[in-house]
């Protein structure tokens, strides 16, 4: 049976300050779940709560039906069967790689050798942490956590101290390892790219609340509120200025819709593939332009409205150009503020 970690209405506070509010999350042992959110949103506190390093003020945490936290119950961290990996690796500096991995005493010599091979650490067994690179140190930290045979691995911004060139091959490799070993992983990042690459499901955290938790494609196509759409910066949200039966008015003009949009939905969400953009004499003028890894971001404005448009790299326009922006006919996705 696959492992199941369940957070039910978990709240947490530092002194008087509420940091997590009614967090509901279900995580299964064969998936990688990412908690994605800006700095200060409470990501580390979620992991510390699951690991038992941070008391919760209300709610319940269960692992495979066993209560880890509830009113009057707080299982100590070492009895939870959960491994925690920090961004700074936290290896024992005076222990060689092999002894760091074997530290728990729960893996025998052949299991430690298997972990060394699995994480690609052969040849480094006798080195001390300061004699290997950051990426290698993170591999050792993961091997050490896996030696405890935890039901889940929790990783707090595990790649943030690793340079770009090392990071992506490492993420790809870890993805395959976690898949093959069927280890449940909860990892935390503020990087949208890392979240969308590594995770089966992504929970968007903002000010201590989960705004949406779904597979990456749904977040991308169907953000359920304005904060998610804006945080992910994947498309454009246009306010619905007025509506009739099958027509919406937005700053881009009229939009025909094939389905009625709920009354409480105030915006339509459009991805850049759903727009046609062409140079024109009338429309939105480019005020600023910024190159991104995946496209070009423009700040555009007409007499009444300004917005940010992210277009593909081949849609390269100069600052000052006026663009006519039209929505291609499609079934729009609407959302609430
Ligand atoms: P994240 O990991 O998303 O950056 P954290 O979970 O570390 O966020 O922090 C969430 C909030 O809790 C922040 O406002 C932070 O200032 C506060 N916080 C974190 N740790 C402590 C602490 N030990 N004492 C008091 N406040 C804290
Ligand atoms: Mg943090």
For 60-102, how does the pLDDT look when each residue is reduced to its tens digit (9 = 90+)? 999 999 999 998 899 999 899 899 998 777 899 999 999 999 9
Q: Which residues of the chain have pLDDT under 50?
A: none
Q: Which ligand is nearest to the CA of 160?
A: 2
Centre of ligand 2 to C-alpha 174, Å, is 21
Tell me if 54 CB under 6 Å of ligand 1: no
Tell me if 244 CB under 6 Å of ligand 1: no
Centre of ligand 1 to C-alpha 38, Å, is 12
Tell me if 87 CB under 6 Å of ligand 1: no
Q: Is 13 exposed, middle or buried (0-12, 13-18, 19+ CB in 10 A)?
A: middle
Q: Is 250 left (phi over 0), alpha (psi -120 to 50) or beta?
A: beta
Nearest CA to ligand 1 atom 27: 14
Centre of ligand 1 to C-alpha 17, Å, is 10
pLDDT attached to residue 258: 75
Is the pTM for the entire model greater than 0.75? yes
Tell me if 20 CB under 6 Å of ligand 1: no
pLDDT attached to residue 277: 93
Task: Kindly give the number of the ligand 1 atom that is closest to the alpha carbon of 17.
Answer: 26
Centre of ligand 1 to C-alpha 30, Å, is 29
pLDDT attached to residue 237: 81
Q: Which ligand is nearest to the CA of 53?
A: 1
pLDDT attached to residue 94: 96
Tell me if 40 CB under 6 Å of ligand 1: yes
Tell me if 304 CB under 6 Å of ligand 1: no
Q: Which two tokens stand for residue 333?
A: 């996705």
pLDDT attached to residue 234: 67
Q: Which ligand is nearest to the CA of 43?
A: 1
């Amino acid at each position: 049976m696959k492992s199941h970690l369940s957070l039910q209405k978990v709240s947490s506070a530092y002194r008087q300050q509420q940091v997590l509010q009614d967090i509901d999350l279900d995580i299964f042992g064969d998936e990688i779940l990412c908690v994605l959110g800006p700095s200060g949103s409470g990501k580390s506190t979620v992991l510390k709560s699951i690991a038992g390093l941070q008391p919760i003020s209300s709610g319940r945490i269960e692992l495979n039906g066993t209560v880890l936290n509830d009113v009057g119950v707080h299982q100590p961290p070492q009895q939870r069967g959960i491994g925690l990996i920090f961004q700074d690796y936290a290896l024992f500096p005076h222990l060689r790689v092999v002894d760091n991995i074997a530290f728990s005493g729960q893996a025998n010599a052949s299991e430690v050798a298997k972990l060394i091979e699995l994480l690609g650490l052969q040849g480094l067994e006798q080195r001390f942490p300061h004699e290997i690179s950051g990426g290698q140190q993170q591999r050792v930290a993961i091997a050490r956590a896996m030696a405890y045979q935890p039901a889940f691995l929790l990783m707090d911004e595990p790649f943030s101290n690793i340079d770009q060139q090392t990071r992506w091959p490492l993420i790809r490799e870890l993805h395959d390892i976690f898949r093959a070993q069927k280890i449940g992983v909860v990892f935390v990042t503020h990087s949208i790219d890392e979240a969308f690459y590594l995770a089966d499901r992504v929970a968007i955290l903002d000010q201590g609340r989960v705004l949406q938790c779904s597979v990456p494609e749904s977040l991308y196509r169907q953000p359920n509120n304005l904060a998610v759409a804006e945080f992910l910066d994947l498309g454009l949200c246009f306010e619905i200025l007025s509506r009739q039966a099958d027509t919406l008015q937005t700053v881009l003009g009229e939009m025909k819709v094939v389905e009625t949009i709920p009354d409480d939905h105030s915006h339509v969400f459009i991805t850049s593939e759903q727009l046609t953009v062409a140079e024109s004499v009338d429309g939105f003028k480019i005020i600023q332009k910024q190159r991104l890894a995946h496209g070009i971001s423009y700040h555009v404005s007409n007499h009444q409205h300004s917005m940010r448009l992210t277009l593909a790299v081949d849609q390269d326009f100069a600052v000052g150009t006026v663009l006519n922006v039209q929505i291609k006919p499609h079934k729009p996705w609407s959302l609430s503020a």
